[in-house]
């Protein structure tokens, strides 16, 4: 259930996550909201009806994005909405997603993962069976929702969400971020003058890892892939 409260950086920093995702709206700016996940991940978004259709725009993670910055971004969307409404919704929809011209041919995340597995895991791993199991596990547990998405549609916010979805399991979170970084680095890398898979910016490049203790370990899943 959504709640209303005037946002401040101090309040958002102090608010504790619950057992389920909680959404708060800021009454000072129409459509501005923050969602707090059970893991503690907090992100701003703008959510309003435009010409009869609900429109969602992600504004960024707190505290990387402050309340003032989120309010400014939401106001820009409100002004765009108001201008289009004043024009009786004539002309192109300013909120319509405009994929790049080449998006139709851009491979999906699953296609990249499959290509990476064939080129780097099956062909080069010292223990291919173990390596395949580990890659399969991390894909299914962290990135299954990305499988059908185009490579250029996955953003740093998506990587941050996957990172923070791990909660206090910092080892898992770091491995997940590193896995995405490795996939995209390999994809854009040139071998013998040719791109390995697809030239695309790396959404994990600027995502910071959690500090780890030297002997920190992760409990490995017991079930093996059939």
Residues with Cβ within 8 Å of 76's Cβ and at least 6 positions away in sequence, in order, are none
pLDDT tens, position by position, 3-39: 899 999 999 999 998 888 899 999 999 999 999 988 8
> How far from chain centre, in Å, is Cα 194?
29
Q: What angle do CA 196, 127, 140 make, to 5 degrees?
A: 65
The helix or strand, by DSSP H or E, that contains position 180, with its residue range, turns out to be helix 170-188
Measured between alpha carbons, how far is 182 from 90 in angstroms, rounded to an integer? Answer: 45
Measured between alpha carbons, how far is 184 from 206 in angstroms, rounded to an integer? Answer: 13
pTM confidence score: 0.53
SS3 assignment, position 210? coil
What does the domain layout of the chain look like in residue ranges? 3-86, 101-195
Domain at 3-86: CATH code: 3.30.160.390
> For residue 15, what is the DSSP state?
P
Are 173 and 164 contacting, i.e. CB atoms less than 8 angstroms apart? yes
Decide whether 3-86 matches 101-195 in CATH topology.
no
pLDDT tens, position by position, 81-127: 999 999 999 999 998 875 554 455 889 999 999 999 998 998 888 99
Rg (CA), the chain: 21
Domain at 101-195: CATH code: 1.10.150
SS3 assignment, position 53? strand
């Amino acid at each position: 259930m959504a709640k209303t409260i005037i946002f401040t950086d101090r309040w958002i920093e102090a608010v504790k996550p619950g057992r389920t995702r909680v959404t708060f709206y800021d009454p000072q700016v129409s459509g501005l909201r923050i969602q707090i996940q059970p893991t503690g991940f907090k992100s701003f978004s703008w959510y309003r009806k435009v010409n009869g259709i609900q429109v969602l725009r992600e504004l960024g993670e707190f505290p990387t994005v402050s309340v003032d910055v989120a309010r400014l971004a939401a106001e820009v969307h409100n002004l765009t909405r108001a201008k289009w409404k004043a024009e009786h919704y004539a002309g192109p929809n300013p909120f319509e997603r405009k994929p790049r011209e080449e998006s139709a041919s851009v491979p999906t995340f699953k296609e990249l993962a499959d290509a990476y597995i064939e080129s780097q895991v099956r062909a080069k791993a010292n223990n291919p069976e173990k390596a395949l199991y580990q890659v399969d596990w991390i894909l299914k547990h962290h990135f299954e929702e990305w499988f059908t998405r185009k490579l250029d549609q996955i953003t740093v916010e998506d990587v941050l969400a996957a990172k923070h979805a791990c909660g206090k399991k910092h080892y898992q979170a770091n491995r997940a971020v590193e896995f995405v970084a490795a996939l995209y680095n390999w994809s854009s890398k040139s071998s013998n003058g040719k791109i390995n898979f697809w030239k695309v910016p790396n959404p994990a490049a600027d995502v910071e890892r959690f500090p780890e203790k030297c002997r920190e370990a992760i409990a490995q899943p017991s079930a093996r892939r059939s």
